[in-house]
Structure 1
């Protein structure tokens, strides 16, 4: 898969009254280079419509498009890949269905990260780093887990969960070079500007790590 820096996930509850495609295009214009459709409430028909619209948008801008959970929607919408949680379809089963498409896996402990890597995940999510309204029931993994993954995992990983512009420096310092955000991006009054601010911080951190 193409490398990425800023991973934006849909969260329509954070921008009521604003169009999904408009908001996500602003994120892309600000530098988001991978988008995920995450929607736990819409029916299949509505979900597929959103996926197809986002597929058109991401193709227009050359951005990677991922669908959360729904392998059938990802395939029908011709998404680049899927993202699965620990309680979703097993990675090995999903691989049989999606072939060479991208598969991302959410992880909350190093054992899950190692298993995902061994089973052939293309990337993993590491989090939630901080408490988050997106997954209020999930216990934060803290920066120590980010450091552990940075030290032990070789596939790409992205830190996620409660990450804001005012705490992202600490997350980057823990060893990640990729950031995912939901409410901080899509709930912003300046979506593109917020993404540009994240990109600046990521690039500054990368330059220090790789210099």
Structure 2
């Protein structure tokens, strides 16, 4: 498989849904199916937290979610867990600053998609030098979904990165919903990544559809 080009990557980042079993109050495969129907463009399996699945249960849910994505041609990305991504033959991996050297992750996954979280110009540039296909920038707004986040940077930080020459695909994350997503788009992000805006929505399909209008 050839390495994805930046134009394709930008499109895939438009509505980037992230979730694990603990982020939904119902059934994650059902929520994912509805979110895909609503127009998400990429899915990241992020199984974290005190009540997260582990071992064979984590693997089994990953397989089920990946199968749903494959049927609808939605890329399936695994958060942090490179070994799980390889075991599932996922489409890619997303790693944070504390999840190992990006260069080594790139060597392990070959041409699969690689996203890296960055919170400064220096981190962003280093991630790209080491092989990242896209950057996850945030939190752009306050969020309660993650308890290990950096300080809020605001959507304007993405414009600052652009002004400093970072032209790579960027997806914004952190506290994004239908009411503030347009601020992210206005600051030159290629897409928005959300957890609870879809996972906790009464109607995940409608939530995804409304978010999709921001970049269409």
Same-fold call, TM cutoff 0.5: yes
- CA positional deviation for 1:149: 2.5
- CA positional deviation for 1:23: 0.3
- Alignment partner of 1:158: what SS? strand
- Alignment partner of 2:155: what SS? helix
The unaligned stretches of length 5 or more in structure 2 are: none
- Aligned Cα root-mean-square deviation (Å): 1.3
Distance 2:46 2:210 in 1: 23
Alignment counterpart, residue 42 of structure 2, candidates 19, 34, 40: 34
Aligned residues: 202
Alignment of 1:1-211 (within 5 A): 1=4, 2=8, 3-4=11-12, 5-16=14-25, 18-40=26-48, 41-138=52-149, 139-151=151-163, 152-203=165-216
Give a deviation string over 1:111-146, Cα, whole Å, max 9, x none: 111111111101110101011112234211112311
Distance 2:114 2:23 in 1: 26
- TM-score w.r.t. structure 2 length? 0.89
Distance 1:175 1:155 in 2: 11
Contact 1:51 1:74 (C-alpha < 8 Å) held by counterparts: no
- Alignment partner of 1:115: what SS? helix
- TM-score w.r.t. structure 1 length? 0.91
- CA positional deviation for 1:177: 2.5
Distance 1:93 1:183 in 2: 31
- The runs of 4+ residues in structure 1 deviating greater than 2 Å are 11-15, 149-152
Higher relative contact order (CA 8 A, sep 6+): 2
